[in-house]
């Protein structure tokens, strides 16, 4: 080993120790990357350093950290030539000078403008996998020696190890945090059946736990099968109203059940509205399906303000929360539906009760066990009962018409025969007899059994009295008409007999015979007066009785005879 070589190796050792010491002092992968790109140029006498990480989602390298170059340079789409990228993906380092001149890709202008002349590109390998790239750049034309390349390669390996270790450390930390957070979110979403509270709990809690700026939840609407924004946090109204995302590629994938992690959201073709994403300051997006019993019911999106390569654990946690949330959301939706149904049933019941109460008849609804299910206001008012006293009670104890002595009451007959029945019966009420018509109608279910019996009771006392009066009047009218006819038929012979008797009386001279004739004439006149009265009666008039009905007024029409 020459003194020069020894000197160089000694320097390399110092640098190696320095780098190892630095990267061992932090446990955050981003900090490691930032530290490496900031400190390495001075140690290795280059102008700039960049680290890019391999993103499995896009199968490309995304920026991890950079120092010494502009954002414009970093934003170019092509990192290096196909030859260089191929070598790196094979795990081989490359070192080239004049990269601004011998450039065969479409982003050479960025390199020229930045003034980069030479570049050493090193694969970052961890467990035989390419996990990223470390590039060292100079603005002078520099030929990297093999020893420098080898040394840088060992540094890149060290960086890869450090990043992986930190990532692992962070993952472990995250997992512990996630477990705790998951428990909290689970508690929150399962503590309520209010859909809005569940959605709010997720969008408010999740960003803090996952270290992102915002969160959105969109649910598939059953009627349209389209996603509709139902909750959001950490983003502006303007961003939320940017337009439909139903046709975004990322959404299609998520709705198939596949989580989608987008590192560079402002440029990634899997999402639309790049300008709005940029304006909102969103760098990375993680979208996961919201599921319930393996059915996808929506999409949950986490929006990061920093470029972030979401880890498998991040994704797993988000998926778990989305699943938990999905179950709670579905439960809340079901509860809402049931509540709505209950409200509708209650409203229908109120409507029905209003109608029943408005009926001017007494009404009872009786179950097959002979217990009262429903009663109307008219029944309660007539019998001085309260609804709570009546509902649930057995029919015999409630119904004033129940005949305890009867072997089979009308209700029992309806329950047994499943056929309606009408009963008209007289009841003594206080000092008055009343007539009631009871109509008992069964409501038959699909199995042919009686679900309910509706008993409607009309007070028909007035009607019965009216019918009785009408019947009496008809009978009386018949008698009157018969009397009139008889009187008429009697009048003519009586006229002939009386007249003849009077003529005979005029002809008789014997006083004794005259007296006898007078007796005959007087009696005939009495009969004549009687038939006159009978005729007068037949000319009866009527007085107002009930409603439009009138009855005969016999006495008032019978006037004393004048002949």
Helix axes 312-358, 146-190, angle to 10 degrees: 20
Nearest of 263, 271, 286 to residue 64 by alpha carbon: 263
| Rounded distance between C-alpha atoms, residue 543 and residue 553, angstroms | 6
- In the bound state with other proteins, the residue whose beta carbon lies nearer, of 26 and 520, is 520
Q: Shortest approach of other proteins to residue 532 CB, angstroms? A: 7
Residues lying near other proteins in the complex (CB under 8 A)? 484, 487-500, 502-503, 524-525, 528, 531-532, 535, 539, 563
Nearest of 410, 421, 422, 424 to residue 459 by alpha carbon: 424
- In the bound state with other proteins, the residue whose beta carbon lies nearer, of 193 and 558, is 558
Nearest of 197, 220, 218 to residue 336 by alpha carbon: 197
What region does 45 belong to: left with phi over 0, alpha with psi -120 to 50, or beta? Answer: left
- In the bound state with other proteins, the residue whose beta carbon lies nearer, of 348 and 488, is 488
Q: Shortest approach of other proteins to residue 506 CB, angstroms? A: 8
**Residue 480 in 3-state DSSP?**
helix
Q: Shortest approach of other proteins to residue 385 CB, angstroms? A: 58
**Residue 287 in 3-state DSSP?**
strand
- In the bound state with other proteins, the residue whose beta carbon lies nearer, of 220 and 528, is 528
- In the bound state with other proteins, the residue whose beta carbon lies nearer, of 346 and 489, is 489
Q: Shortest approach of other proteins to residue 489 CB, angstroms? A: 7
Q: Shortest approach of other proteins to residue 472 CB, angstroms? A: 25
- In the bound state with other proteins, the residue whose beta carbon lies nearer, of 197 and 477, is 477
| 281 CB neighbour count, 10 Å cutoff | 16
- In the bound state with other proteins, the residue whose beta carbon lies nearer, of 422 and 500, is 500
Q: Shortest approach of other proteins to residue 491 CB, angstroms? A: 3
Q: How far apart are the first and last CA of the chain?
A: 177
- In the bound state with other proteins, the residue whose beta carbon lies nearer, of 496 and 519, is 496
Q: Shortest approach of other proteins to residue 493 CB, angstroms? A: 7
**Residue 221 in 3-state DSSP?**
strand
- In the bound state with other proteins, the residue whose beta carbon lies nearer, of 408 and 488, is 488
Q: Shortest approach of other proteins to residue 365 CB, angstroms? A: 59
- In the bound state with other proteins, the residue whose beta carbon lies nearer, of 189 and 487, is 487
Q: C-alpha angle with apex 549: 546 to 552, nearest 5 degrees? A: 105
Report whether 331 contacts 325 (CB < 8 A): no
Residue 80 burial (10 A CB sphere; 0-12, 13-18, 19+)? buried
Rounded to the nearest angstrom, the gap between the alpha carbon of residue 550 and the centroid of all alpha carbons in its chain is 64
Q: Shortest approach of other proteins to residue 505 CB, angstroms? A: 10
| Rounded distance between C-alpha atoms, residue 402 and residue 396, angstroms | 6
In this structure, what DSSP letter does residue 12 have? H
Q: Shortest approach of other proteins to residue 511 CB, angstroms? A: 20
| Rounded distance between C-alpha atoms, residue 298 and residue 86, angstroms | 40
Residues ≥6 apart with Cβ < 8 Å to 426:
433, 434, 435
């Amino acid at each position: 080993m020459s003194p020069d070589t020894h000197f160089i190796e000694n320097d390399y050792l110092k640098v190696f120790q320095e780098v190892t010491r630095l990267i061992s002092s932090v446990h955050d992968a981003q900090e490691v990357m930032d530290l490496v790109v900031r400190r390495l140029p001075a140690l290795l006498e280059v102008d700039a350093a960049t680290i890019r990480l391999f993103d499995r989602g896009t199968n490309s390298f995304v920026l991890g950290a950079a120092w010494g170059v502009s954002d414009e340079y970093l934003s170019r789409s092509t990192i290096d030539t196909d030859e260089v990228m191929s070598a790196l993906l094979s795990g081989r380092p490359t070192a080239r000078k004049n990269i601004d001149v011998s450039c065969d890709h479409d982003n050479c202008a960025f390199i020229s403008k930045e003034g980069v002349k030479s570049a050493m590109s090193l694969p970052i390998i961890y467990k035989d996998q390419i996990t990223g790239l470390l590039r060292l750049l100079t603005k002078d034309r520099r030929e990297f020696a093999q020893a420098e390349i080898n040394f840088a390669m060992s540094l890149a390996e060290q960086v890869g190890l450090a990043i992986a270790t930190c990532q692992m450390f962070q993952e472990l930390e995250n997992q512990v945090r996630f477990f705790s957070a998951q428990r909290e979110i689970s508690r929150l979403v399962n503590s309520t059946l209010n859909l809005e509270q569940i959605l709010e709990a997720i969008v408010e809690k999740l960003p803090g736990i996952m270290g992102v700026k915002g969160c959105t939840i969109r649910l598939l609407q059953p009627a349209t099968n389209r996603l509709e924004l139902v909750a959001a946090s950490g983003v502006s109204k303007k961003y939320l109203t940017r337009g439909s995302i139903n046709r975004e590629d990322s959404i299609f994938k998520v709705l198939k059940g596949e989580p989608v992690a987008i590192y560079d959201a402002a440029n990634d073709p899997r999402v639309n509205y790049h300008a709005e994403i940029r304006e909102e300051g969103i760098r990375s997006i993680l979208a996961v399906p919201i599921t319930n019993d393996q059915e996808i019911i929506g999409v949950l999106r986490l929006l990061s303000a920093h470029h972030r390569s979401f880890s498998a654990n991040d994704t797993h946690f988000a998926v778990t929360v989305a699943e938990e949330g999905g179950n709670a959301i579905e439960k809340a939706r079901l509860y809402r539906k049931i509540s709505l149904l209950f409200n509708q049933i209650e409203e229908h019941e109120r409507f029905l009760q209003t109608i029943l109460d408005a009926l001017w008849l007494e009404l009872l609804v009786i179950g097959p066990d002979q217990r009262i299910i429903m009663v109307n206001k008219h029944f309660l008012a007539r019998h001085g009962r309260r609804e709570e006293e009546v509902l649930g009670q057995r029919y015999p104890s409630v119904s004033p018409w129940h005949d305890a002595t009867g072997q089979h009451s009308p209700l029992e007959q309806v329950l047994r025969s499943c056929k309606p029945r009408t009963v008209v019966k007289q009841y003594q009420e206080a000092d008055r007899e009343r007539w009631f018509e009871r109509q008992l109608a069964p409501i038959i279910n699909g199995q042919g059994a009686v679900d309910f019996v509706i008993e409607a009771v009309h007070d028909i006392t007035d009607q019965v009295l009216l019918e009785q009066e009408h019947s009496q009047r008809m009978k009386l009218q018949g008698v009157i008409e018969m009397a009139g006819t008889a009187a008429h038929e009697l009048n003519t012979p009586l006229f002939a007999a009386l007249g003849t008797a009077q003529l005979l009386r005029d002809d008789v001279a014997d006083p004794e015979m005259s007296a006898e004739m007078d007796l005959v004439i007087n009696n005939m006149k009495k009969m004549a007066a009687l038939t006159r009265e009978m005729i007068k009666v037949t000319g009866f008039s009527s007085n107002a009785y009930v409603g439009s009905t009138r009855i005969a007024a016999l006495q008032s029409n019978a006037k004393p005879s004048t002949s």
